[in-house]
């Protein structure tokens, strides 16, 4: 009996793991190349702070039959029927877009808003599958179509899709309802406390995606990471895989074509997942100077998808950071996914252009997209502009590290971030978090994320922004966080002269790390309110921030040989509920080098000048 019991438990564990993998495997990538119906635009809404449309008066989740659940239309069948909810145009909101900036009454709202969209759908003649795809919804989304629940997703910055059950779609007047809830919780990712605004809503694109019955769900085509210092050579090696949604019923071939290179190769599918390996002669490598992208077509007998992909290698070899085998210095800046001029989340192509153009003007060849995965448009634009990217999950500050489900939530977001963008040449670093307080439990949690990131992608670097004790008063600060052992790049945030002492402390401070790895400053910065001028000792003046950057730059010039770059905090002023100085902040973190109107502060020119020098040195 004991053996039977043990077998039963093992089977349950296996099924549980299989179930988990299956659930995480469902994301369709390269969505822009898919036939789809755009579901952006005006959606009607109901504000529901008590979640009346979700729970009954005994606070039990309403079932699908309940007519007054808010996933139903709310139109009474006759004049006697009682309905206590409904959707009308008077209450409409734009998708994509956070709700906070759209109506004054939503500025500080955290809770549930129901979104409703009606749409017609012309069914294609051939057999195919449909999915409802969301670029991102902050934070929890419960999705219903024609009165049926399609699924629930948590995580405010990553994409997800739900399959539409066969027969559910109608030609006319489909009813798509999404319950969006952005309440913060201690056991979510991020947790209760962040230094950014918790913008709620359907913040990115929504589409109805159409794919053949057997389709290419995802694929990776990237250059292999060089091993043991091998040169890339004239025929760089590509490794990757193609994932179909299902095990094909009969023998299938997968074809990979890169027309510009006159490359075409067939691989026999080995089930749902097929590994690829081939050489690419005469490929022009992707770099900031030559951000070359190739059209790559992946096809089977029933499906075809194409993407634009750049080929490059990135590696940490001892203390060096090498792009395509050559040392590279990262002239970076941290960016929030926010358009401060309109006090809203960034979501459009134009938004991506604004943010990357600002970084470009500063002289950057790299951006740290803090502190969560940004919209896919910005990583795609970075690919074509030649800007290297650090992409991060919102494992920020005091996550509930001892809580196993929280680790699963962080892993799910890591998986979605990497899956969406694993063909982006621009992304060189996956970050598993920011300023997490050192403890064995936290290090174990973060180490687990690093292991998972490497399992998901072995072609890029994995890092995390670590914290240092810059106010220790010592002249040598050692970045010795135990996580340093597991990251590829030792990155740390330092605010010497803002949180610790005054900027002249930089003159006597030196940095080092016991790890034989590249060293990167993932943040440094000071606040200044544009137009507030005073002497350089006066906090919040442009002169203070300018002085801070002058002293920092002088210190960077004395950094050890493994110093490979920096991404100061932060490109532009951004909304934060934690910043309440009534004269200088008024709800804004003012560490931007640009202010919230896009004006440059004095410190901008100090960093720009340093980057000009670094860029000249690299020539």
Phi and psi angles of residue 566, each rounded to the nearest 5 degrees, phi first? -155, 155
User: Which CB, 42 or 578, lies closer to ligand GCB?
Assistant: 578
Which chain residues interact with ligand GCB by CB under 6 A? 195, 371, 434-435, 493, 523, 569, 589, 591
Q: How far is the CB of 440 from ligand GCB (least distance, A)?
A: 22
User: Which CB, 258 or 519, lies closer to ligand GCB?
Assistant: 519
Whether 417 contacts 378, CB under 8 Å:
no
**349-362 helix and 376-385 helix, angle to the nearest 10 degrees:** 50
Q: How far is the CB of 527 from ligand GCB (least distance, A)?
A: 7
| Residue closest to ligand GCB when measured from CB atoms | 195
CB atoms within 10 A of CB 288: 21
HSE-CB of 12 using CA atoms within 13 angstroms? 6
Q: How far is the CB of 302 from ligand GCB (least distance, A)?
A: 46
Left (φ > 0), alpha (ψ -120 to 50) or beta: where does 49 sit? alpha
Q: Which helix (H) or strand (E) holds 421?
A: helix 404-421
User: Which CB, 210 or 573, lies closer to ligand GCB?
Assistant: 573
Per the document, the length of the chain is 619
User: Which CB, 196 or 311, lies closer to ligand GCB?
Assistant: 196
Alpha carbon distance 564, 600 (integer Å)? 26
User: Which CB, 511 or 569, lies closer to ligand GCB?
Assistant: 569
- In the chain, what's the furthest Cα-to-Cα distance? 81
Q: How far is the CB of 495 from ligand GCB (least distance, A)?
A: 7
Q: How far is the CB of 147 from ligand GCB (least distance, A)?
A: 42
Phi and psi angles of residue 321, each rounded to the nearest 5 degrees, phi first? -110, 120
Q: How far is the CB of 392 from ligand GCB (least distance, A)?
A: 10
Q: How far is the CB of 330 from ligand GCB (least distance, A)?
A: 17
Q: How far is the CB of 425 from ligand GCB (least distance, A)?
A: 26
Buried (b) or exposed (e) across 545-557, using 16+ Cβ within 10 A?
A: bbbbbbbbbebbe
Q: How far is the CB of 373 from ligand GCB (least distance, A)?
A: 15
User: Which CB, 292 or 591, lies closer to ligand GCB?
Assistant: 591
User: Which CB, 459 or 493, lies closer to ligand GCB?
Assistant: 493
Q: How far is the CB of 210 from ligand GCB (least distance, A)?
A: 40
Alpha carbon distance 145, 165 (integer Å)? 10
The alpha-carbon radius of gyration of the chain (Å, integer) is 25
Please list the helix, strand and coil fractions of the chain in percent, rounded to the nearest 5, in that order: 20, 30, 45
Alpha carbon distance 240, 220 (integer Å)? 5
User: Which CB, 112 or 589, lies closer to ligand GCB?
Assistant: 589
According to DSSP, residue 224 is labeled P
Whether 384 contacts 294, CB under 8 Å:
no
Please tell me whether residue 501 adopts helix, strand or coil conformation: coil
Alpha carbon distance 10, 229 (integer Å)? 42
User: Which CB, 158 or 434, lies closer to ligand GCB?
Assistant: 434
Q: Which pair of structure tokens corresponds to residue 315? A: 């590696």
Buried (b) or exposed (e) across 319-337, using 16+ Cβ within 10 A?
A: bbbbbbbeebbbbbbbbbb
Q: Which helix (H) or strand (E) holds 219?
A: strand 216-223
Q: How far is the CB of 486 from ligand GCB (least distance, A)?
A: 20
Q: How far is the CB of 69 from ligand GCB (least distance, A)?
A: 39
User: Which CB, 323 or 429, lies closer to ligand GCB?
Assistant: 429
**β partners of residue 212:** 128
User: Which CB, 72 or 589, lies closer to ligand GCB?
Assistant: 589
CA atoms 176, 181, 187, 193: torsion sign = positive
**CA of 431: how far to CAs of 89, 393, 464, 490, in Å?**
42, 7, 5, 11
User: Which CB, 106 or 197, lies closer to ligand GCB?
Assistant: 197
């Amino acid at each position: 009996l004991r053996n039977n019991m043990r077998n039963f438990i093992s089977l349950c564990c296996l099924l549980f793991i299989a179930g988990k993998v299956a659930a995480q495997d469902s994301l369709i990538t390269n969505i822009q190349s898919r036939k789809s119906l755009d579901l952006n635009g005006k959606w009607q809404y109901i504000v529901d702070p008590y979640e009346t449309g979700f729970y009954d008066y005994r606070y039990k989740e309403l079932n699908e039959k309940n007519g007054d659940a808010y996933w139903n239309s709310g139109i009474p069948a006759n004049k006697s029927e009682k309905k206590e909810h409904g959707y009308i145009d008077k209450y409409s909101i734009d998708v994509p877009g956070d709700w906070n900036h759209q109506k004054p009454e939503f500025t500080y709202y955290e809770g549930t808003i129901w979104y409703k969209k009606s749409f017609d759908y012309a069914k294609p003649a051939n057999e195919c599958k449909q999915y409802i795809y969301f670029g991102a919804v902050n934070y929890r989304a419960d999705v219903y179509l024609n009165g049926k629940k399609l699924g629930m997703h948590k995580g405010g910055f990553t994409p997800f899709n739900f399959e539409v059950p066969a027969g559910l779609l109608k030609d006319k007047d489909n009813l798509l309802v999404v319950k969006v809830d952005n309440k913060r919780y201690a056991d979510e990712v991020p947790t209760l406390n962040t230094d950014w605004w918790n913008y709620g809503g359907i913040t990115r694109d929504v589409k109805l995606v159409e794919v053949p019955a057997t389709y290419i769900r995802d694929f990776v085509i990237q250059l292999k990471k060089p091993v043991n210092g091998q040169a890339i050579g004239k025929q760089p090696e590509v490794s990757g895989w193609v994932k179909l949604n299902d095990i094909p019923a009969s023998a299938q071939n997968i074809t990979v074509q890169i027309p510009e290179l006159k490359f075409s190769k067939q691989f026999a599918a080995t089930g749902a997942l097929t590994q690829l390996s081939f050489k690419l002669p005469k490929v022009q490598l992707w770099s900031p100077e030559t951000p070359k992208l190739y059209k790559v077509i992946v096809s089977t007998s029933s499906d075809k998808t194409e993407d634009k992909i750049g080929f490059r290698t990135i590696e940490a070899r001892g203390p060096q950071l090498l792009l395509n085998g050559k040392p590279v210095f990262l002239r970076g800046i941290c960016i929030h996914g926010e358009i401060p001029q309109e006090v809203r989340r960034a979501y459009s192509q134009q938004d991506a252009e604004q943010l990357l153009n600002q970084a470009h003007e500063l002289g950057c060849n790299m951006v740290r997209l803090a502190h969560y995965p940004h919209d896919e448009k910005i990583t795609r634009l970075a690919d074509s502009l030649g800007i290297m990217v650090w992409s991060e999950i919102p494992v920020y500050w005091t996550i509930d590290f001892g809580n196993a489900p929280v680790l699963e939530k962080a892993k799910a977001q890591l998986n979605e971030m990497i899956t969406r963008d694993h063909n982006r040449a621009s992304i060189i670093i996956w970050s598993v978090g920011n300023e997490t307080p050192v403890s064995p439990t936290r290090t174990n949690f973060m180490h687990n994320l690093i292991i998972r990131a490497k399992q998901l992608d072995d072609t890029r670097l994995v890092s995390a922004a670590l914290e240092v004790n810059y106010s220790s008063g010592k002249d040598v600060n050692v970045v010795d966080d135990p996580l340093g052992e597991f990251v590829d790049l030792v990155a740390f945030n330092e605010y010497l002269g803002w949180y610790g002492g005054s900027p002249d402390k930089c003159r006597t401070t030196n940095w080092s790390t016991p790890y034989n790895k590249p060293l990167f400053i993932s943040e440094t910065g000071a606040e200044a309110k544009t137009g507030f001028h005073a002497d350089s000792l006066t906090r919040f003046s442009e002169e203070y921030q300018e002085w801070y950057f002058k002293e920092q730059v002088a210190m960077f010039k004395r950094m050890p040989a493994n110093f490979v770059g920096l991404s100061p905090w932060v490109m532009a002023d951004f909304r934060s509920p934690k910043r309440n100085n009534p004269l200088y902040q008024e709800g804004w973190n003012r560490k931007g080098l640009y202010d919230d109107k896009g004006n440059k502060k004095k410190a901008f020119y100090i960093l720009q000048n340093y980057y000009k020098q670094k860029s000249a040195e690299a020539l």
